[in-house]
């Protein structure tokens, strides 16, 4: 069953076309990556999926709702079903990490303060942060900790869908692999569907189930790594089949060819 379906998305800024008939669909419980060059419109596509922007034309269906014709009430309901990790965290700088995570629980549920605290600290633990981090402000955290804290906030309401914009960029290699593992665990544990924008080859080769390659304003290849590697598109060739990747991921790439 597909959780997200995008049909013929067209996006224009002034006269510049960013997307020209973009199509893809994301299945339940999979880790789906959107890849492509810088400036190919990945972040814009994500913004359109989370209703921060709307495409010039086309349809996006998420959890059975058509975003183009959604009522404010339904939209609000939908928002509670997803968590978003922004590229730079976007934590509320005037609140502590614990308050950041607690915010939605406080707004949308009537569970007790004690219970909320417990939930907050369980989320912190889930993403691998020490509990003292809860008392700090975002400006007092390192880049990697911010990513983790933002992930904890995105998970606060136990969403069905998780959107991640470049989750591993700016992390050290070990941290990045741990983060990948964390995402897999979350998917397995909580049964969520993960949509992520990434440039990280390691993530693509290890944790991603399916992916869409955005180039020349549309999706030039979609599917599992094997499917994508069959594409002859110049971007795919350059991205996956250069000397470095051939060396690094010898086994995987050879399997396909």
Partner 1 sequence: MNEKYLVFEVYHDHIKLVSKGKWILETIRHIENILQSIPSDKKIIWDVSGVSEFDSAGILLFIEYLNYFEAQSKVKVTGYTSKQKEMYDLLKKQHKSKKTIHAYQESTLERIGKKTIHIYDDTKEMLRFFGELFSNLFYTILHPKEFRYKEMVYHIYHSGFSALMIVAITTFLVGMVIAYQGSVQLAKFGADIFIVDTVGISIVRELGPMITAIVIAGRSGSAYTAEIGAMKITEEISAMRTMGFDPYSFLVLPRIVALMIALPLLIFFADIVGIFGGMFASRMQLGISIEQFVNRLYEVLEVKHYILGMIKGPVFAFLIAAVGCFRGFQVSQNTESIGLHTTQSVVNSIFLVIAFDALFSVIYTELDL
Ligand X SMILES: Nc1ncnc2c1ncn2[C@@H]1O[C@H](COP(=O)(O)OP(=O)(O)OP(=O)(O)O)[C@@H](O)[C@H]1O
Answer for the pair 34, 211: CB distance below 8 angstroms, yes or no. Answer: yes
The span of 81-89, 116-124, 128-136, 223-231 binding partner 1 (CB under 8 A) equals: 81-89
Smallest gap from residue 30 Cβ to partner 1 (A): 21
Q: Tell me, by CB under 8 A, how many residues bind partner 1.
A: 19
Exposed (0-12), middle (13-18) or buried (19+): which is 38, by Cβ within 10 Å? exposed
Smallest gap from residue 229 Cβ to Mg ion (A): 24
Helices and strands (H, E) in the chain, number of each type: 11, 10
**Residue 61 interacting entry, from Mg ion, partner 1, ligand X, none, C-beta within 5 to 8 Å by type:** none
Smallest gap from residue 37 Cβ to ligand X (A): 7
**Residue 22 interacting entry, from ligand X, partner 1, Mg ion, none, C-beta within 5 to 8 Å by type:** none
Exposed (0-12), middle (13-18) or buried (19+): which is 114, by Cβ within 10 Å? exposed
The span of 19-27, 29-37, 40-48, 176-184 binding Mg ion (CB under 5 A) equals: 40-48
For the window 70-99, what string marks contact with ligand X as x by the rule CB under 6 A? ------------------------------
In this structure, what are the phi and psi dihedrals at residue 16, rounded to the nearest 5 degrees? -85, 120
**Residue 164 interacting entry, from ligand X, partner 1, Mg ion, none, C-beta within 5 to 8 Å by type:** none
**Buried/exposed code over 54-79 (b: 16+ C-beta within 10 A; e: otherwise):** ebeebebbbeebebeebeeeeeeebb
Q: Tell me, by CB under 6 A, how many residues bind ligand X.
A: 10
The span of 5-13, 35-43, 179-187, 244-252 binding Mg ion (CB under 5 A) equals: 35-43
- Pick out residues in 4-63 that bind ligand X (CB under 6 A): 13, 18, 36, 38-44
Smallest gap from residue 176 Cβ to ligand X (A): 16
Instruction: Provide Rg for the chain, Cα atoms.
Output: 19
- Per CB under 8 A, 91 contacts partner 1: yes
The span of 102-110, 189-197, 235-243, 244-252 binding partner 1 (CB under 8 A) equals: 102-110
* Residue located via tokens 């922004």: 86
What residue ranges in the chain does DSSP mark as E strands?
Answer: 2-13, 16-27, 31-36, 57-62, 65-66, 82-85, 161-165, 193-197, 210-215, 218-223
Give the tokens for residue 105.
């629980």
Exposed (0-12), middle (13-18) or buried (19+): which is 132, by Cβ within 10 Å? exposed
The nearer residue to partner 1, 65 or 206, going by C-beta atoms, is 65
Q: Which residues bind ligand X (CB under 6 A)?
A: 13, 18, 36, 38-44
Q: Which residues bind partner 1 (CB under 8 A)?
A: 47, 50-52, 76, 79-80, 82, 84, 86, 88, 90-93, 103-104, 107-108
């Amino acid at each position: 069953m597909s959780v997200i379906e995008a049909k013929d998305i067209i996006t224009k800024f002034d006269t510049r076309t960013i997307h020209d008939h973009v199509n893809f669909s994301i299945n339940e419980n999979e880790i789906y990556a959107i890849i492509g060059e810088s400036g190919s419109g990945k972040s814009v596509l994500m913004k359109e999926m989370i209703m921060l922007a709307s495409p010039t034309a086309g349809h996006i269906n998420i959890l059975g709702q058509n975003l183009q014709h959604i009522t404010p009430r339904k939209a609000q309901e939908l928002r509670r079903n997803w968590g978003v990790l922004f590229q730079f965290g976007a934590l509320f700088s005037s609140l502590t990490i614990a308050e950041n995570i607690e915010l939605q629980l406080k707004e949308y549920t009537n569970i007790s303060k004690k219970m909320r605290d417990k939930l907050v600290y369980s989320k912190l633990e889930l993403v691998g942060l020490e509990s003292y981090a809860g008392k700090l402000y975002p400006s007092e955290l390192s880049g990697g900790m911010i990513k983790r804290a933002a992930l904890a906030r995105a998970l606060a309401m136990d969403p069905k869908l998780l959107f991640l914009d470049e989750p591993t960029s700016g992390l050290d290699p070990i941290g990045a692999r741990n983060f990948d593992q964390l995402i897999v665990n979350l998917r397995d544990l909580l049964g969520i569907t993960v949509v992520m924008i990434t440039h990280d080859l390691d993530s693509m080769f290890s944790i991603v189930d399916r992916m869409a390659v955005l180039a020349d304003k549309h999706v030039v290849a979609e599917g599992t790594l094997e499917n994508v590697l069959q594409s002859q598109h110049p971007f795919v060739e350059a991205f996956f089949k250069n000397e470095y990747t051939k060396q690094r991921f010898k086994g995987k790439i050879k399997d396909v060819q």
